[in-house]
Amino acid sequence: MIGVIADAADLRVVAEFFELFKTRWEVYRSGTNYEVVLTSQPGAEGVGQRLTVRYGGRPREADDRPDSFPASADPGGRLVFHEGDSLPLYGESLHWGPQEAPRLVRVQVRDGRTIARVGYDLFTEVRWLLTRGQPIEHAAIPTLELHIELLRRLIADSGASCPEVRPVPEGYRFIAVLTHDVDHPALRLHRCDRTVLGFLTRALLGSLVKVLQGHESGGYLVRNWAAALKLPLVQVGLARDFWRDFPTYLRLERGRPSTFFVLPFANRPGRRRGGARAPRIRGAAYGARDVASELETLQEAGCEIGLHGIDAWCDEAAAREEIQELTGVAKSFRGGVRMHWLYFHEDSPLILERAGAAYDSTIGYNDTIGYRAGTGQVYRPLGATKLLELPLIVMDTALFYPSHLNLTTAEAWKRVEAIVAQAVRFGGCVTVNWHDRSLAPERQWGKFYGDMVRYLEAQGGWFTTAEGAVNWFRKRRETNLHHEVGPPSKIQAIPRASTQN
């Protein structure tokens, strides 16, 4: 059992941290013997029978030694190195040793007890990650998982026991969640608007530039130019609408369940933060009822339908209206949400929860891939009581769009492989968002997607819908480790997950 001494204002953060590091803990009780005591309070009493971990980014009396020096983090985070990992810190920090080789942790052993002084405030860092999130320069680093790993290592090295429910189903190495934001389900819905002009520009000119740069083949150019020439025939119904291609996703996923986030209403751009009208292009040319037959087919194949929210992130009445619309169209809709263009703010979790949402999957980046909250685990936002957040980790447009990372296929693979390697190491989810039109010209990202799905399987991923992943983590959260639960070998994971939802 870990006894935790923390400020009362941090107890909600403490509780969420120990839902992610699922081990036995409680608020410290005077007179109770704990194998491990963790404290973030200067001067707080309490010594663990095996290990005492003292966190804090400011010098304390015991730290006043010639080889210690404080350093405050920049607003964008300060990168430090510990045990071979790069660790961003967003609050004040303290390091030991010479400046050319500072140490983040100082460990001493006294009378068989280990005392570890860690030079930052753990719960300040966790609060930052779960509310503000990481800047894009640290997106590739699962920072919250590194905080957990640091504590886990200290406990293991001290000889204390640490029964833990790992964040992955038994028999798997991580959870693979395939999702699709449905923004443009049919080219025929567009006439001479910005969407069509963008398609033509990228198909005709953008494709040529990529071929001249050596990033794409001549076949890629030919397919895009042929699609551009077919555009008039598509719009009058004399040629197949190559954007309306949900069956190809079913073929590429080969029975693996995925989640499609669908916009509720057509021609609603919604609002930006502060109430200003969002750009007109944010409004889509379709609503959920326009693709009702396709949604039925997807649901029959085992896919989940979620809400691609418009104003649900900032307006409870709008959230209720959007949820009600999806409820009337999709029988598999059970309150899963991802906001269009990833609009979100710190009040959004509570707004969505009050409107009836069960989970959200918005927290991620538009312009890169990685860990906005520092973790791939499902977590509870600090402003919510029931709603859970499934972090978005990998998105197609972030990888390939010229205005974002603009990667070649080889470069994109390196980024994805690095994300999967972190998932194998720490567990949690690799949540992928591949937009509905990304298989077709002018994007042609279908081969990459199909190869990635096979790679996720080969690396040991358990495939489930977004709702399935969230429900697995709900069961994990309900697991009670506060009582005697047997030897660690018996509780390393909860029962093997079903491949069904």
Per residue in 423-437, pLDDT tens? Answer: 999 999 999 999 999
What is the pLDDT, as a whole number, of residue 85? 85
Residue 310 makes CB contacts below 8 A (sequence gap 6+) with: 263, 264, 265, 268, 269, 270, 318, 322, 339, 340
Token pair in block for residue 411: 């470069």
Q: Which of 200-214, 363-377, 450-464, 479-493 has the lowest mean pLDDT?
A: 479-493
Top-ranked range on mean pLDDT: pick from 36-50, 201-215, 448-462: 448-462
Handedness of CA 83, 85, 91, 92 (dihedral sign): positive
What per-residue confidence (pLDDT) applies to 43?
Answer: 75
What helix, strand, coil percent values describe the chain, rounded to 5? 35, 20, 45
Handedness of CA 365, 371, 374, 378 (dihedral sign): positive
Tokens of 134: 């990481």
- Of 410, 416, 421, 360, nearest in space to 387 by CA: 360
Percent of the chain scored above 90 by pLDDT?
Answer: 81
Integer Cα distance of 7 and 422 in angstroms: 32
Q: What does the alpha-carbon distance between residue 193 and residue 481 come to, in Å, rounded to a whole number?
A: 57
At 137, is the secondary structure helix, strand, or coil?
A: helix
- Distance, in Å, from the CA atom of 497 to the CA atom of 469, rounded to the nearest integer, reads 10
The string of pLDDT tens digits covering residues 393-407 is 999 999 999 999 999
Q: Is the pLDDT of residue 80 over 90?
A: no
* Region 343-371 average pLDDT: 97
Q: Which residues are within 8 A (CB) of 100 and not within 5 positions of it... i.e. 6 or more apart?
A: none
State yes or no: pLDDT of 493 exceeds 70: no
Residues 120-177: tens digit of each pLDDT = 999 999 999 999 999 999 999 999 999 999 999 999 999 998 899 999 999 999 999 9
| Cα distances (angstroms) measured from residue 130 to each of 88, 119, 143 | 14, 20, 11
Give the integer Cα–Cα distance in Å for 436 and 207: 20
68, pLDDT greater than 60: no
pLDDT of 501 > 60? The answer is: no
Query: Range with the lowest mean pLDDT among 57-71, 335-349, 396-410?
Result: 57-71
Mean pLDDT over all residues of the chain?
91
Write down the pLDDT at residue 496.
Answer: 39
- 351 has pLDDT over 60: yes
Taking 60 as the threshold, does the pLDDT of residue 311 lie above it? yes
CB atoms within 10 A of CB 193: 13
pLDDT confidence band for 6 (50 / 70 / 90)? very high
Distance CA 56, CA 92 (A): 8
What is the reported pLDDT for 101? 72
pLDDT over 90 (residue 361)? yes
Lowest mean pLDDT among 65-69, 234-238, 325-329: 65-69
Cis link prior to 442 (omega < 30° from 0)?
A: yes
Is the confidence at residue 235, as pLDDT, over 50? yes
- Provide the residue ranges of all domains of the chain, joining segments of one domain with +: 2-164, 176-186+243-478, 192-235
Spatial contact of 55 and 118, defined as CB atoms under 8 Å apart? yes
Q: Are strands 259-262 and 174-182 parallel, antiparallel or unpaired?
A: parallel
C-alpha triplet 327, 328, 331: angle, nearest 5°: 65
Predicted local distance difference test score (pLDDT) of residue 41: 87
Q: Bridge partners of 206? A: none
- The residue with greater pLDDT, 228 or 273, is 228
DSSP codes, 284-346: -S--GGGGHHHHHHHHHTT-EEEEEESSTTT-HHHHHHHHHHHHHH-TT-SSEEEEGGG---T
Structure tokens at 200: 């033509």
The whole-number pLDDT of residue 491 equals 30
Assigned CATH topology for domain 2-164:
Rossmann fold (3.40.50)
Segment 60-72 mean pLDDT: 55
pLDDT band at 84 (very low <50, low <70, confident <90, very high): confident
What is the Cα–Cα distance from 437 to 486, expressed in whole angstroms?
Answer: 51
Q: CB under 8 Å to 395, separation ≥6 — which residues?
A: 364, 365, 366, 369, 432, 433, 434
pLDDT band at residue 498 using 50, 70 and 90 as cut-offs: very low
Please state whether the predicted TM-score (pTM) of the whole model is above 0.95.
Answer: no
Q: Point out which residues pair with 181 in neighbouring strands.
A: 261
Sequence length of the chain is: 501
Q: How confident is the model at residue 330 (pLDDT cuts 50, 70, 90)?
A: very high
Query: Into which CATH architecture does domain 176-186+243-478 fall?
Result: Alpha-Beta Barrel (3.20)
